Amino acid sequence: MSTYSAPVRDMHFVLNDIVGLEEITSLPGYEECSPDLVEAILDEAGKFATGVLDPINAIGDQQGAKWMGGEVTAADGFKEAYKLFVDTGWNAMPCSPEFGGQGLPTVVSMAVNEMWKSANMAFGLCPMLTGGAIEAIAHHGSDELKATYLPNMVTGTWTGTMNLTEPQAGSDLSAIRSKAQPQADGSYLISGTKIFITWGEHDMAENIIHLVLARLPDAPPGVKGISLFVVPKFLVNSDGSLGARNDLVCASIEHKMGIHGSPTAVMAFGENAGAIGYLVGDANKGLGYMFTMMNHARVNVGLEGVGIAERSYQHALSYARERIQGAPIGDKSGETKAIIHHPDVRRMLLDMKSRTEAMRTLAYWVAGQMDRAHNHPEATARVTHQARADFLTPVVKGWSTEQSIEITSTGIQVWGGVGYIEETGACQYFRDARITAIYEGTTGIQANDLIGRKLAREKVPGSTAKALLAEMATFANSMGNDESLLAMARQLNDGIAAMQRATDWLLATYDSNPRAAAAGAVPYLKLTGIVVSGWLMAKSAQIAAQQIASGASDDFYRAKIATASYFAAHQLPLAAAYAAAIAEGSAAVLDIADGLL
């Protein structure tokens, strides 16, 4: 079994040279942060991921969380690792100093969180959900709710969940039936059953704070009648101490394909007197509030795609360097060599590496847009950066997770027959990756959001996409005279042209034929991921070439040009195929009779 090593060099390159970390740390509110501090944080986070989380990853997969009589016990080592995680302050890193957090930029948290997801994705889901719950309460909760819950959630002493899905509803949140009955003291009695609740019950923290969607008695039907409530596992006394156990129970946990170390709970609320809950914000506006948490989770699930792909790549690379098998094609020495010398193995490894770097660059760049949207001193700049973050959030989630499934599958292929054997560890990454394209909104849901709210129904339809296309085209036409960069520029220009055609077609079609547009939604999401990442990879190659021309002898820069060139040659050509499928393929999807499917 290989050992995870955080790709700190590439993380620093993306943060500093692509995202513009120095500019971000100079924004109001981030003055206490600096590139030097970030370097120290990443180094320490890498040590924690390698030394604490990676060793218990396989244990979590093999043992899984255990349910008995409503109580859930984490796999061996998880409780101790979580205590160390909290004691060393990692949970508080991205949170507001107002509630005891460190207030670091989102993009710094992005890099650190990638390490948690690479080293132990099941473990990393717990603080991820807590972070989303913190965001929702901080943005929409009353001062009393913030004071009662956030300090302990920020430290990680208490964890958080989000409770949306119900058995009969699935992704259709308008079908939610959970009820909230007002009480004389201002609280509410919550009743109903929620499913697929990540870390909904466990023994790692003192309290679990559930954010629950439910309906008031007079609520209008559909999504406009959903309210959001804080429902703690243990009630909190006025002095902040823990009180009685609330009327909620984990009825069971799911037996899943992967992420076995992360309990996925069925939560039953109010089976006796009623679970006491507290309204977040205004009544009937809960879905909008929950989207604060969901958007946080969607970007972080996209980052899971990056992290698990990186881990699978490292695992495959380690094996390819050690496994001696056969003489490579074209090698006249007659010697058997490590399989890394075989051309197809090299292709697979380079494919995994280049696509993972592209995903990382996109995720970090979008996080940088979020930081600028939150803290830039100019209002117009904040609006522009927020629009870009909104447009690309479903792409980070949907495209990156779809990529991770393919990359982790390739990881098994590098191992060959033994990769199909669980003991090698290659299978776990594939199994863990598979859920990422489903939870927090399937790829289809992300794609519909992209072509609907983010493109066709934007205030000025398509304005964000068109501005991004124009910026990418300007860059592609000014890449320099290096022949390798010129080839990359041509490939990037072709990809941009394909995205432009697809964007124009969707904008022209969406209102008159929304079904045809929806039939091309997932191809458009994938096309956008490829082209925007191809642009960022081309930027990376240009910077690397400039460093080499200035005398840098670091092999990192040569490797960066190689991975960017591979991505341009092997991924960007797919953009034209996706554009054709979008504009010309809807009839093939829609015209077939249901009985012929």
CB 242 within 8 A of CB 251: no
Helices vs. strands in the chain: H and E counts, helices first: 20, 12
Q: Dig out the tokens for 5 from the structure.
A: 């090593």
Could you give the C-alpha distances from 521 to 330, 420, 441, 503, 528, in angstroms and in order?
44, 33, 14, 11, 11
CA dist 393 → 120, 307, 400, 454, 566 (Å): 23, 17, 11, 10, 25
Beta strand ranges found along 140-263 (DSSP E): 158-163, 179-182, 188-198, 207-214, 227-232, 234-236, 242-245, 248-253
CA distance 178 to 194: 8
Q: Is 440 a catalytic residue?
A: yes
Q: Tell me the torsion sign for CA atoms 71, 249, 156, 308.
A: positive
Rg (CA), the chain: 24
3-state SS track over 35-73: HHHHHHHHHHHHHHHHHHHHHHHHHHHHHCCEEECCEEE
Integer angstrom CA distances of residue 268 from 180, 233, 242, 275, 398: 14, 12, 21, 9, 30
Smallest Cα–Cα separation from 279: which of 371, 131, 141, 152? Answer: 141
Q: Sort strands 188-198 and 275-280 into parallel, antiparallel or unpaired.
A: antiparallel
DSSP letter, residue 204: S
- Which helix (H) or strand (E) element contains residue 535? helix 521-549
Q: Where are the beta strands (DSSP E) in 83-224?
A: 158-163, 179-182, 188-198, 207-214
Closest CA to 33 of 221, 258, 41: 41
Return the residue matching tokens 């993306």. Answer: 14
DSSP state of 418: G
Residue with tokens 């054997």: 421
Please tell me the distance from the alpha carbon of residue 502 to that of residue 265, in angstroms, as a whole number.
Answer: 41
73-102 in b/e form (b: 16+ CB < 10 A) is bbbebbeebbeebbeeebbbbbbbeebebb
Bridge partners of 182?
188
Q: Pick the catalytic residue from 422, 440, 471, 483.
A: 440
CA distance 369 to 376: 10
Q: What CA–CA distances, in Å, run from 174 to 16, 52, 399, 438, 514?
A: 43, 42, 26, 19, 21
Cα dihedral sign, 73-77-43-406: negative
In 3D, which of 150, 18, 9 has the Cα closest to residue 91?
150
The catalytic residues are 440
